A and B are shown apart, each in its own frame.
Chain A
């Protein structure tokens, strides 16, 4: 349902551009009735939207990812958290979480220190920066550490470069676009990136990009739905997380003081930040 709605949005917003996209990029027909007029399509979308209101904090549609990025990233996040008998990245709307983040402060690196010079970590030999020479190079850093990212790119650009390089590697090493590969090969390819197998990767280290998309996929599965992912709190339900249900959100009659010294776990239906605020302000 989430999926279908997303594609309807896609068509509505990008109808003109759609013809330029390969079939594999948008692999499901946008509407069952190919002949339907734009007005009918809009009506359908409106019905879908009305249905959405029964779901909490679910907003679908794109503000930043391009058409090619959408279809590629969709398959990446679904490889990282596949759908099985339980919901995965697809049902959680992870791709919307990433899209929102990249469209906003995160993508703009608004809270990052972005002044040059940009010197990569783990340089072993002597390096010269400005007028200074450092005989021992630069420190070795954990991937994902705050000093690890040393690119003159904001995160939106970093993702753009990374996704293009990933697709190029899929074609050169696996003989086709990532979306067309078997799920086993998709996972292998992502592992290649973690292991820095690609020798040329758009001037970024493949493992830095691998960290970034794995991190953001799990974040999209597990952050509050207010940020666009974890739709219907499926990620929280899966992990048994309570959100802001402190024991009595739905009238369960438990409280934190009991839960914090308990020896058996209590499953609480999660509540989201928006629900919490609605309850706190007395509206529902």
Chain B
């Protein structure tokens, strides 16, 4: 007979134990601090040697079966393109693209990510005001109809120290970020007060070719930033890190668990630090389903969760940190009535609320925007070797406002790079999952012979400008489907926005020039599919952004400059903080939303400490 159990009250209750939550846990349990911290997550605490080292080399089980991932019968999500449509539930994990392999257990989604990183430059934080100042309001209105773009509450310079802390904690590998001078006065590139703590992994010959070619074209190349430790390392919490062994079953669409702990995530960087403190309690295999609120103050009083036996636990606390990521972070707020839910209206001026608002997709290539070419002299192995985010070289020159957009019909741009290791894991399950009517018979079979042993390198890039928030893309609760416990699923309403498409049309030619300079032959550009009526895009989940934004205005954002909840205006729920890729206002086309979200977890940790020190609880100054 399931019962209800009230747990001893904590100072800080952490909801979900992934990347962001790990920082909160480590920072609030540092020696000398006395906060009682309780962190609750669904799923187990993975042990990389025991759980992964003999069973991870398994495309069927990991790639398609998602054996280390969140089970779909527990909880799914529904998806539609427009508010007038019925939303279809995600019923199965499929290939080539995983809809929402959101992670399960300590370490969250980053247990199986590619570890690709990269700071967001100064423009990303002020892109609304910068665009309006430089090109005018009507320009922004025309590139992004129904625009819901907002600036961040702080500038890049203000976030910079938090970037440094976060990079140190996770042992990021790289060598600056393309800044020619690395001065704070640089406006385009993210200047850095300190270099990355670890050097990049060795560059591939193709990466070096890209470096030479882009330099010759006047661009500023730098090694791709990666969170897969290139060397042994000890972080500021004294947690030792093993180096990558380059087994190659790492990134790519399947995203493999790491058998050495070299792949940075909370389980092997920050939670081990918190575990040293007797003030820290980790609650595993528990599904959080509600936040209790005090009707008078609106404040959160407790989190409720189910243990594996179905008992309900009530965990009271003074302050809460929402680290559940993705639509889970939004869904728990909507289910609990915390913050003002976003209410869509076809007239942008008539929308209201902030929770679920401003959904964007951080990685969303348009169909057909691909550029490809062949390097005749470089072959190599296409089977797994290396890791998921090393070996390549990038430029930021075609990103942000690093080039003049006058007379163009989009803002922002793309990071371009080449030369990554074949470390995306085997391509067998992704290939099988992308079959068509052409994938049958002897003639087709012949195209597969020795495909892992190419004698030429195929260069390929899918540039597109970033996805901008509009009032028509959002998350709410689905009226038809529920999770296993009977609570409504998150419903995602999302369609491609024109900025990504228009940017792609322009950027493909720039990339073509780079590939040609590298000596590639037969450089061809695909024919992009125009927006509207296109087949529903597949890139959900991995890199959803927005929907629970940080901002300057409580009407359009959930979190303030301390990542503290200030929505709704009249009765702000100021004792819940949050961070995650989801809080980005911009969906800037830095491939790594995690790298942009990470520093906010340091910011939130500081905010929580300040909040607990307030004589009268309230909004932080």
- The answer on a CB contact under 8 Å between A224 and B380 is no
- CB of B60 closer than 8 Å to a CB of A: yes
Cα(A240)–Cα(B380), bound, Å: 12
Cα(A257)–Cα(B386), bound, Å: 7
Cα(A84)–Cα(B246), bound, Å: 36
- The answer on a CB contact under 8 Å between B88 and A141 is yes
* From B84, B437, B452, B455, contact of A239 by CB (8 A): B452
- The answer on a CB contact under 8 Å between B379 and A82 is no
- The answer on a CB contact under 8 Å between B535 and A223 is no
- The answer on a CB contact under 8 Å between B449 and A238 is yes
- CB of B136 closer than 8 Å to a CB of A: no
363-394 of chain B: CB within 8 A of chain A: 377-386, 391
- CB of A267 closer than 8 Å to a CB of B: yes
* From B88, B385, B429, B442, contact of A219 by CB (8 A): B429
Contacts of A148 in B (CB 8 A): 94
Cα(A246)–Cα(B246), bound, Å: 9
- The answer on a CB contact under 8 Å between B480 and A117 is yes
Cα(A114)–Cα(B76), bound, Å: 10
- CB of A135 closer than 8 Å to a CB of B: yes
* From A84, A261, A268, contact of B445 by CB (8 A): A84
B423's nearest neighbour on chain A, judged by CB, is A260
- The answer on a CB contact under 8 Å between B381 and A129 is no
- CB of B79 closer than 8 Å to a CB of A: yes
- CB of B451 closer than 8 Å to a CB of A: yes
- The answer on a CB contact under 8 Å between A240 and B452 is yes
A112, A129, A147 pick with most chain B CB within 10 angstroms: A147
118-164 of chain A: CB within 8 A of chain B: 119, 121, 123, 127, 129-130, 132, 134-142, 144-150
Q: Which of A39-47, A48-56, A58-66, A208-216 contacts B (4 or more CB under 8 A)?
A: A208-216
Q: Which of B64-72, B297-305, B592-600 contacts A (4 or more CB under 8 A)?
A: B64-72
Cα(A238)–Cα(B245), bound, Å: 27
B contacts with A, residue count (CB < 8 A): 86
Known: A79-B441, A113-B73, A146-B94. A276 touches B57 (CB 8 A): yes
Known: A84-B442, A147-B79, A262-B380. A222 touches B432 (CB 8 A): yes
* From A149, A246, A259, contact of B91 by CB (8 A): A149
Contacts of A127 in B (CB 8 A): 86
93-121 of chain B: CB within 8 A of chain A: 93-95, 97-99
Cα(A147)–Cα(B89), bound, Å: 6
Known: A86-B449, A111-B92. A130 touches B441 (CB 8 A): no
- The answer on a CB contact under 8 Å between A129 and B86 is yes
* From B92, B247, B448, B449, contact of A246 by CB (8 A): B247
Contacts of A262 in B (CB 8 A): 379-381
- CB of B536 closer than 8 Å to a CB of A: yes
- The answer on a CB contact under 8 Å between A79 and B435 is no
- The answer on a CB contact under 8 Å between B60 and A264 is no
- The answer on a CB contact under 8 Å between B58 and A140 is no
- CB of A251 closer than 8 Å to a CB of B: no
- The answer on a CB contact under 8 Å between A88 and B386 is no
* From A132, A146, A222, A267, contact of B93 by CB (8 A): A146
Cα(A182)–Cα(B431), bound, Å: 28
- The answer on a CB contact under 8 Å between B66 and A111 is yes
Q: Which of A10-18, A21-29, A186-194 contacts B (4 or more CB under 8 A)?
A: A186-194
Interface flags, B574-591, vs A, CB<8A=1, else 0:
000000000000000000
Contacts of A268 in B (CB 8 A): 383
Known: A84-B445, A149-B92, A239-B452. A260 touches B391 (CB 8 A): yes
**Do most interface residues of chain B lie in helix, strand or loop, or is the interface mixed?**
loop
- CB of A109 closer than 8 Å to a CB of B: yes
**Do most interface residues of chain A lie in helix, strand or loop, or is the interface mixed?**
loop
- CB of A195 closer than 8 Å to a CB of B: yes
- CB of B339 closer than 8 Å to a CB of A: no
Contacts of A242 in B (CB 8 A): 381, 383-384, 452
- CB of A241 closer than 8 Å to a CB of B: yes
Known: A113-B91, A191-B440, A239-B448. A145 touches B391 (CB 8 A): no
Q: Nearest Cβ in chain B — how far from A59, in angstroms?
A: 15
473-494 of chain B: CB within 8 A of chain A: 479-482
Q: Nearest Cβ in chain A — how far from B200, in angstroms?
A: 13
- The answer on a CB contact under 8 Å between B91 and A147 is yes
- CB of A282 closer than 8 Å to a CB of B: no
- CB of B215 closer than 8 Å to a CB of A: no
- The answer on a CB contact under 8 Å between A259 and B448 is no
- The answer on a CB contact under 8 Å between B535 and A144 is no
B386's nearest neighbour on chain A, judged by CB, is A260
- The answer on a CB contact under 8 Å between B380 and A112 is no
- CB of B356 closer than 8 Å to a CB of A: no
Interface flags, B522-562, vs A, CB<8A=1, else 0:
00000000000101101000000000000000000000000
Known: A111-B71, A149-B92. A141 touches B536 (CB 8 A): yes
* From A129, A241, A260, contact of B421 by CB (8 A): A260
Contacts of A88 in B (CB 8 A): 445
A264's nearest neighbour on chain B, judged by CB, is B379
- CB of B43 closer than 8 Å to a CB of A: no
Cα(A238)–Cα(B452), bound, Å: 9
- CB of B185 closer than 8 Å to a CB of A: no
B81's nearest neighbour on chain A, judged by CB, is A139
- CB of A36 closer than 8 Å to a CB of B: no
Cα(A216)–Cα(B85), bound, Å: 31
- The answer on a CB contact under 8 Å between A136 and B84 is yes
B79's nearest neighbour on chain A, judged by CB, is A147
Cα(A67)–Cα(B500), bound, Å: 52
- CB of B397 closer than 8 Å to a CB of A: no
Cα(A218)–Cα(B81), bound, Å: 31
- The answer on a CB contact under 8 Å between A259 and B385 is yes
- CB of A265 closer than 8 Å to a CB of B: yes
Contacts of B60 in A (CB 8 A): 219, 223-224, 227
- The answer on a CB contact under 8 Å between B535 and A140 is yes
* From B73, B98, B383, B439, contact of A111 by CB (8 A): B73
- CB of B54 closer than 8 Å to a CB of A: yes
Interface flags, A82-115, vs B, CB<8A=1, else 0:
1010101000000000000000010001111111
Q: Nearest Cβ in chain A — how far from B357, in angstroms?
A: 21
437-463 of chain B: CB within 8 A of chain A: 437, 439-442, 445, 448-455
Cα(A117)–Cα(B439), bound, Å: 33
- The answer on a CB contact under 8 Å between A273 and B448 is no
- CB of A263 closer than 8 Å to a CB of B: yes
- CB of B202 closer than 8 Å to a CB of A: yes
- The answer on a CB contact under 8 Å between A144 and B482 is no
- The answer on a CB contact under 8 Å between B435 and A241 is no
Cα(A194)–Cα(B444), bound, Å: 16
- The answer on a CB contact under 8 Å between A194 and B428 is no
A129's nearest neighbour on chain B, judged by CB, is B86
- CB of A204 closer than 8 Å to a CB of B: no
Known: A219-B429, A280-B54. A144 touches B434 (CB 8 A): yes
* From B91, B205, B421, B480, contact of A112 by CB (8 A): B91
Contacts of A266 in B (CB 8 A): 381, 453
- The answer on a CB contact under 8 Å between A147 and B536 is yes
Contacts of B385 in A (CB 8 A): 246-247, 256, 259-260
- CB of A244 closer than 8 Å to a CB of B: yes
Cα(A227)–Cα(B55), bound, Å: 13
Q: Told that A80-B439, A214-B440, A266-B381 touch, could you supply 11 new A-B pairs with CB distance under 8 A?
A: A112-B73, A129-B86, A144-B95, A146-B91, A150-B88, A191-B437, A239-B448, A246-B247, A260-B422, A263-B377, A280-B54
23 contacts between A and B (CB under 8 A): A113-B92, A114-B91, A129-B480, A137-B85, A138-B80, A140-B536, A144-B94, A144-B95, A149-B91, A218-B432, A218-B439, A224-B57, A224-B60, A239-B428, A260-B204, A260-B421, A260-B423, A262-B381, A265-B453, A267-B453, A268-B383, A273-B58, A276-B57
User: Can you list the 4 inter-chain pairs with the closest CB atoms, starting with the nearest?
Assistant: A260-B386, A194-B437, A136-B84, A265-B453
